Amino acid sequence: GNSVTQMEGPVTLSEEAFLTINCTYTATGYPSLFWYVQYPGEGLQLLLKATKADDKGSNKGFEATYRKETTSFHLEKGSVQVSDSAVYFCALSVMGGTYKYIFGTGTRLKVLA
Amino acid sequence: GAVVSQHPSWVICKSGTSVKIECRSLDFQATTMFWYRQFPKQSLMLMATSNEGSKATYEQGVEKDKFLINHASLTLSTLTVTSAHPEDSSFYICSAKTSTGPVKGYTFGSGTRLTVV
């Protein structure tokens, strides 16, 4: 079956630190991969996505590369800010009839000034 | 951009009562909406897919008589948790897919934290 595994949080970093949130997946077929972010009191927002192997998604300084050989889609940012504090969800979707998301458990990031 | 408004953001109810959660697409039409549930330290799990004007499609293991979904218009879907019990306490979140216009993809509401006491 399809599943997403992401690292448990919370992750606490100092401002300007390097961020990595690990995400691995299992899927039948060729999934698209996503990172969503949820800021306090808001809905999930698409942060970035990649639709095929070796694609790199990037947005707001965050990036993730679709690695088929390691079935991974790790989220990285070179220098985090306090405003990046949020919950980050890794997700996949597999086309074919029903377009459904499979989410990871979410990782809470807290950035300290 | 596309905005989905979900209401209420949190609710506490007594065991045995019913709770209705609304999901509205504010500036676009949503022919398809999705309802998810997240238990503590677990993934967001898809509960059901609702299509405007037709019956919802429930995922395996989700009781359709307990979680009533109505999608009567292109801008509103509701989830009613009937005869709620403490084990129904969870975080519920909806998402909507646009049907027309330049906005594409899926937009999520802010979620509803349900606590049944």
Give the minimum alpha-carbon distance from B47 to chain A in angstroms, rounded to a whole number. Answer: 11
Mean pLDDT, chain B, whole residue set: 88
Across the interface, of B43, B93, B97, the residue whose CB is closest to A105 is B43
- pLDDT tens per residue, range A23-77: 999 988 888 899 999 888 777 888 999 989 999 999 999 999 999 999 999 999 9
- The per-residue b/e assignment along A25-61, b for 16 or more CB within 10 angstroms, e otherwise, is bebeeebbbbbbbbeeeebbebbbbbeeeeeebeeee
Across the interface, of A46, A98, A105, the residue whose CB is closest to B42 is A105
How many other CB atoms are there within 10 angstroms of residue B5's CB atom?
15
Any B CB within 8 A of A100 CB: yes
Report CA-CA distances (Å) from B71 to B9, B49, B52, B75, B105: 19, 10, 5, 8, 19
* CB pair distance less than 8 Å for A43 and B93: yes
Residue of A42, A103, A107, A108 to mutate, testing the B interface (most B Cβ within 10 Å of its Cβ): A103
- pLDDT recorded at residue A17: 97
- pLDDT tens per residue, range B5-44: 999 999 999 999 999 999 999 988 888 899 999 887 788 8
Report CA-CA distances (Å) from B88 to A74, B13, B23, B40, B47: 32, 11, 19, 12, 13
Whether B102 has a pLDDT exceeding 50, the answer reads no
